[in-house]
Structure 1
């Protein structure tokens, strides 16, 4: 998977080469094939990040449908910030409809052909089903579903999308993080990695841990979160939210481009959930609200401490491989730190480990640690590196006291916000092709089966 420039004329050529026809053109592509975005009820900053850059072949006019309120205004403010920034400003034009009938109005107007959904998750599965049923393509932020009782509805939505010949896809940004891409690439070098171990529940073959923070800096300013973000009935618990990325990566790395059958290939071992607690002062700092709203009072203890089930851990087997994923939410990161990721893939010849702690200056770093003796691994690395470098020019390794550090040129270190553009470009290519790879839809279904069933299991288990 070769990285490409953020805005690329080559991408334009590849995406719309087939669009040279007699239809009237606009300068960005033919009217017939122009992508026109609709943003539905944007309550999460991920909706804005999809528009942090411009895309060839995508109309600059974006229609927004939402109820009136602070969520949609925060979204519009972010878009305006991108339009007015000094460095490569965007030129989006937001056409906004605000009203209680916003969803029905969106369906009736048919002002675009791709609906971007990133916001309150309580009704997201319903919105997805109705939107694809009306013949719109959907690019949805994770999670697409937050409870097991809606899982079959999501399955039906994928079937409906197939019938309507539209594409339903979720935004899996972590596939574009360079250390993860390289972890996957090195795991496919059998002389270096060997084969993936089976592992045990106590010592899984694959572990992925993610640490996040409620108080954070996004696009140069402290993020204002909607109060409902702390309501698991609306946002979803951590075990069905951020773990979506981690479960996706386990599938994507361990069984690349292979179809996962959730009924046969997935077996849950254990799951647990626990809360992050914040006081009213902390809540005010991230929401700009002076009191807990009524819908959160069910989660408030002693009239002052909000308890959010934002943390979760899943232990499961995927085709007999033991895996563990976990997400932890702290209130605020230590000075100089941010969201962090830890990952290990255990091979019969070497382990591939991503660390992002203080020693790494909170930058994700990939290490290769031999399980079969450094001499054998060093020889294998010399043989394997040309194949890695062909896909990722400039990548190298540096010997350490224990194992090797993978040296990654700065050009690959884009950061999380840029990855939304990568996903959108990939989705645009799928739209141009009129299809996605055969494994994508069943693997999305398998991923959401894992998270929603894990939540049910965690609720039944003894809580921390």
Structure 2
């Protein structure tokens, strides 16, 4: 095992139980149960290569069924240190502190060590994506359940391996699942709800390549704050061979929402229900100063030199995919800027076009960068009758979403859904909500029938989209 003390703060070391094992140590594989019935601490987590901040957001909360003792397997380095410091901050915060107890193994053989020791039954991973698909496959082969950060595949070869991983998970009776946080954003939930109300929405139009029925666009920023602190990204985050192109990363959320909202609880077969049309990608250009501020490094590493021109780093963070799903035209796109303008943040735009109205999510300055849902009747629909229908349906939904309301947008043929603050959980909160849903699936012993085929359909769209764009 390799261990370097410079990666460990004294405070972190004082509260974390470190398991420092020699490579020649004799290990006895233990049987750890992989079926659950709701008992306290029966889910025993192992964390593999927590190189992305999403790995620690899963542990921002405690869970009754999850044992507070977590085994971490990773290469040593600053990403592991950042993960440990984040867990330390959760454990030591004044309000609702967590109580995670970490045993950490560092070494180049971290994957093999995790499989050999098998000290847990559910593996969580969020980090470098170059080996993620292979790591997932090896982990489910060994009989672990897996909760993986997106993307689970970053190219066509990865998609083929992911198919094998799902087949192995099925054979070994374990659940492989990815972290789709955007399903827990309230504006998206309500967009889905209204799309299932024919009196308001009608039905999805077919759309066209130029004017799709469903459009989803996400704008992100390389430099941002997470849990109140500036996010230091690893240099490999800017290497598309390790992180993946933007077109296969954030777009996983967008493609997932297209399926989840437009065809709820419906199995999507990528071979028969998806038709790829066209895709494109383009770069975000970063200066050396911007790269340094984001990573803390004074120079570009050698593996990025191939995409440096005149001291400017060119990252394929942006992309657009046009495709048809069940005959309906859809477009997803992602844009990565360096930093958000003062007072702004990451933004999301989404429109579902129906025969009676369009359901539009906007998150711009006018909305104070908070996602808001608008209902806009199409041409030919009487505004007064539409308003009456909307108010009636909002009243019905208020039994499910207490306090829900609707207001007319002044001077426009548009109505905004008034979302109570109680339903506005943060992006970081969504990781807890995803994990809680996954725990329910683990306890039930299965995923919904549509989840696995739809995950495959999602990664087919993103990886095939990259192939088209290239």
| Aligned partner of 1:325 among 307, 311, 332 | 332
User: What CA deviation, in whole Å up to 9, does each residue of 1:253-303 have, x standing for no partner?
Assistant: 00000000000111111100000010111111010011100111011012x
Q: Of 229, 244, 255, which aligns to 1:247?
A: 255
Q: 1:217 matched to which residue of 2?
A: 225
Query: Are residues 1:440 and 2:441 paired?
Result: no
Q: Is the CA contact 2:404–2:420 (under 8 Å) kept in the aligned structure 1?
A: yes
Correspondence for 2:399 among 390, 394, 406? 390
Partner of residue 270, structure 2: 262
Q: Report the Cα distance in structure 2 between the residues aligned to 1:387 and 1:432, rounded to whole angstroms.
A: 32
1:430 and 2:441 equivalent? yes
Is contact 2:128-2:242 (8 Å) kept? yes
Q: How many equivalent pairs are there? A: 432
Unpaired segments of 5 or more residues in structure 1? Answer: 1-15, 20-28, 460-464
Q: Deviations over 1:297-318 (max 9, x none)?
A: 011012x100000000001111
Normalising by structure 2, what TM-score?
0.91
Q: Which of these residues, 405, 415, 419, is aligned with residue 430 of structure 2?
A: 419
CA deviations over 1:301-348 (Å, ceiling 9, x no partner): 12x100000000001111111111000000000111111000000111
Contact 1:350 1:377 (C-alpha < 8 Å) held by counterparts? no
1:143: how far off?
0.2
Residue 379 of structure 1 pairs with residue 381 of structure 2: no
Partners of 2:352 and 2:105 lie apart in 1 by 47
Structure 1 distance, partners of 2:406, 2:64, is 36
Structure 1 residues 101, 299: CA separation in 2 closer, same or farther (over 3 Å shift)? same
2:399 is paired with a residue of what secondary structure? helix
- Alignment partners' CA distance in 1, 2:272 and 2:382: 36
Once the 2 structures are TM-superposed, how far is the Cα of residue 18 of structure 1 from its aligned partner? 4.6
Deviation of 1:414 after TM superposition, in Å, equals 1.1
Within 5 Å, give how 1:191-202 maps onto structure 2: 191-202=199-210
Match of 1:127 among 114, 132, 135: 135
Q: Say whether the 8 Å CA contact 1:227–1:293 is kept in structure 2.
A: yes
The equivalent position to 1:60 in structure 2, one of 31, 46, 68, is 68
Query: TM-score if structure 1 supplies the norm length?
Result: 0.92
How far did 1:382 drift? 2.9
CA contact (8 A) 2:219 2:346 kept: yes
Structure 2 Cα separation of the partners of residues 17 and 226 of structure 1: 36
Q: C-alpha deviations, 1:43-68, integer Å up to 9, x for none?
A: 10000000011111110011100011
- Relative distance call for 1:17 and 1:243 in structure 2 (3 A) is closer
**More deviation in 376-385 or 250-259?**
376-385
CA distance in 1, matches of 2:291, 2:275: 38
Residue in 2 that maps onto 1:149:
157
Question: Does 1:40 find its partner at 2:48?
Answer: yes
Q: 1:262 touches 1:446 (CA, 8 Å); kept in 2?
A: yes
Cross-structure match for 2:16: none
Matches of 2:37 and 2:72 in 1, distance apart?
29
Instruction: Name the CA distance, whole Å, in 1 between partners of 2:462 and 2:348.
Output: 19
Distance in 2 (alpha carbons) for counterparts of 1:43 and 1:386: 45
